[in-house]
A and B are shown apart, each in its own frame.
Chain A
Amino acid sequence: MMNHIKPDYTGIGLRAPHYAQVLEERPSLGFLEVHSENFFHAGGASLHMLQRARECYPLSLHGVGLSLASADALALPHLEKLASLVERVEPALVSEHLCWGAIDGEHFNDLLPFPHTSEALQIVTERVERVQARLKRQILLENLSAYVAFRDCDMSEFDFLAELVRRTGCGVLLDINNLYVNACNFDFDARQELARVPWDAVGEIHLAGHSVGELCLIDTHGSRVCDEVWALYREAVALGGPRPTLIEWDTDIPALEVLRDEAARAAAINREQTCPA
C-alpha cells in the first residue's frame, strides 16, 4: 500500500457523490483527503469505502471538529475516535484547523477565529502536544479563513503558526485560498504574508474556490480556484518548493472530472518547480 505523498503529488478532497466513481475508475491522483469526523463510526458503507480507497491511494485525514484553540478542555472522546481512525487507515497526513468551535461544552460545528495572543498560543501549544503524543505522529495545522479580525492580537496568524511549529514540531497546512480571502477581507498583502510562512514545516497546500459576498469574500469551497489564488499558489511554490497539493470542493460539488482538471492544473504548477525548464 502506497503511504507516502511526494511533494509534487496533487489530490482531491473525496466527498460522498464521488465515492463509487473513484473506487470504480481509480483515477490517477496522488492522494485523497477526507474529513476525519465522517469516518468516526464503528462500521458501515462509508468506512468500508475509505478502507478500499486506502488500498489504492495515500490518504490525508483532515479534521474539522477538534477545536484546538478553544478555552474548553481538549475533547478526549473526539481525540480517541481520531486515534482509532488513524490506526485503522494509516494515513500519510493528519491535519486540523487553527481555530475553535466549542465553548462551555456547546459546539457550533464551525471553524471560528480567535485572537492570536500569547495566552492562546500557550493553550494551543499544550493541545497540539497532547494530540501529537496520543496519535504518536506529527499533525499539520491549517491557517483559517475569517470574516472578522480581533482588536488586540500579539502576532499575525503566520507568526502564531511559526511559533507553534517551533514549540511543538507540528507542521503547517497552507491554505492559499484562506490566505487570499483574509487578505481581501482585512486588506493586507497576501504576498508579504507568504514571507512569514515557516516553509520547512509546510506539509500540504490547499486550493479551493470562494464566493464574493456583499461584505466580504466567503470561503465556500464551491467553485473553481480563481486566477488570483492560482497566481499566489505559483508564488508560494516558487518560494517554498513543491508541496502535496489538494483541491477542496464542498458545496455544489461538480463532476469528478472538474476536480481532476483542477488537480492537473495544480500539478503543472507544482512541477514547474520540481523540474525547472
Chain B
Amino acid sequence: MPSLIDVQRRFANVLRAGQGEADMLACLQGDAQRNASLLAVYRGNAVANAHKALQLAYPVICQIVGEDFFEGLARAYRDSHASRSGDLNEYGADFADFLAEFEHVADMPYLPAVAQLEWAVTEAERAADHVPLSMAELASFAPEQLGDLQLGLQAAACLVRADFPVASIWLQHQPAYDGALNIDLGVAECCIVHRIGWHAAVLPVVVAELAFWQTAQSGAPLATMLDAAFSLDEDFDVQTALSRGFTAELVTRLQLA
C-alpha cells in the first residue's frame, strides 16, 4: 500500500484535472471501470462546490455574463486558482485578478472592477459589527477642537475607486432594482462599500468625498480630511459629505488626535 500522502496526491491529481487515473485506480478495491466512474462523481462534486461558492460571492458577474458562461468561468478559475482554505467562504478572493487576465472576457474590461466590488461586499457582510455614531455627537466637541478630531470608520468600510461605473452596475443588478439599465461604460466611479445594520450597501461618492473618507480611514484628523477634499474640489460640500457618511453609519468613533 502506498503511503497516505502518496494516495492523497494520486486522488488529488484525479480531482484536479482527471490526470493519473490509473495510479489512483491501482489503490482501489473492485472493478476498475466502475471505480473510474465513481472517481468522476468526486471530481464532479469538487467542480460543483467551487462553482456554487463562486456564484454566492459574485451574483452580479453571474447576471452580466449569464449562468452558462459563468459556469465556464468557474471551471477555468478553479483550474488556475486552487482553493487554499477548508472554509469555502474564502474561495474566490482572486476572481478579479483572474478575470483581468482571462482572454475570453477581454471584451468586458469592466468585469474585474465589478468583481473587486462584489468581493468587498462579501467581506463587508461578515466584517466585525459596528455601533454607529450620530452626527449630533460632533456637537459635543468645541468648534476649535473639530480640526483635530479623528473620525474612526466601521470595520466593513471599503473605499473603491474604479475606471468603470462599478457602483451603477452593482446597484442596477440588485434584486430590488426594477428600473431600466442606465449605465455609461465610459464613466469612472467611486463608491464606499459599507454595512447598514446587518446589510452590506454601496454608497456612490464623488472623488473629493472618497478622498475625504480615505483620509479618515488613514487615521488623519478632520483638518487633513478637509485639505484632501478641497485640493480636489474647491466647492466641496462638507456638510453634505458628513451627513451622508453618518447616515451610512460610517463613523463609529470620534477621538481627539
- Cross-chain contact of B89 among A40, A70, A100, A103 (Cβ < 8 A): A40
Q: Give the chain B neighbours of A104 by CB distance below 8 A.
A: 9, 12
Contact (A42, B155) CB under 8 Å given A65-B86, A109-B91, A216-B38: yes
Contact (A66, B39) CB under 8 Å given A43-B129, A115-B1, A150-B27: no
Which residues from 23 to 42 on chain A have a C-beta closer than 8 Å to any C-beta of chain B? 37-38, 40-42
Centre residue among B35, B91, B126 by max chain A CB count within 10 A: B126
Does chain A have a CB within 8 A of B118?
A: no
Chain B 75-118 near chain A by CB (<8 Å), digits 1 or 0: 00000001111111101000000000000000000000000000
Does chain A have a CB within 8 A of B50?
A: yes
Contact between chains at B28 and A151 (CB < 8 Å): yes
CB distance from B195 to the nearest CB of A (A): 8
Does chain A have a CB within 8 A of B7?
A: yes
Q: Give the chain B neighbours of A186 by CB distance below 8 A.
A: 29
Does chain B have a CB within 8 A of A134?
A: no
Contact (A149, B4) CB under 8 Å given A42-B155, A213-B41, A218-B41: no
- Cross-chain contact of B86 among A37, A47, A213 (Cβ < 8 A): A37
Which residues from 4 to 24 on chain B have a C-beta closer than 8 Å to any C-beta of chain A? 4-5, 7-9, 11-12, 15-16
Instruction: Count chain B residues whose beta carbon lies closer than 8 angstroms to a beta carbon of A.
Output: 46
30 contacts between A and B (CB under 8 A): A37-B89, A41-B89, A41-B126, A43-B127, A44-B125, A44-B127, A44-B195, A45-B199, A65-B86, A67-B86, A70-B8, A105-B84, A106-B12, A107-B85, A107-B86, A109-B46, A112-B8, A114-B7, A114-B8, A115-B1, A115-B7, A117-B4, A148-B28, A149-B28, A150-B7, A150-B27, A151-B27, A152-B1, A186-B29, A215-B38
Top 3 A-B pairs, shortest CB-CB distance = A65-B86, A41-B126, A71-B5
Interface residues of B (CB under 8 A from A): 1, 3-5, 7-9, 11-12, 15-16, 26-30, 34-35, 37-39, 41-42, 45-46, 49-50, 53, 82-89, 91, 125-129, 155, 195, 198-199
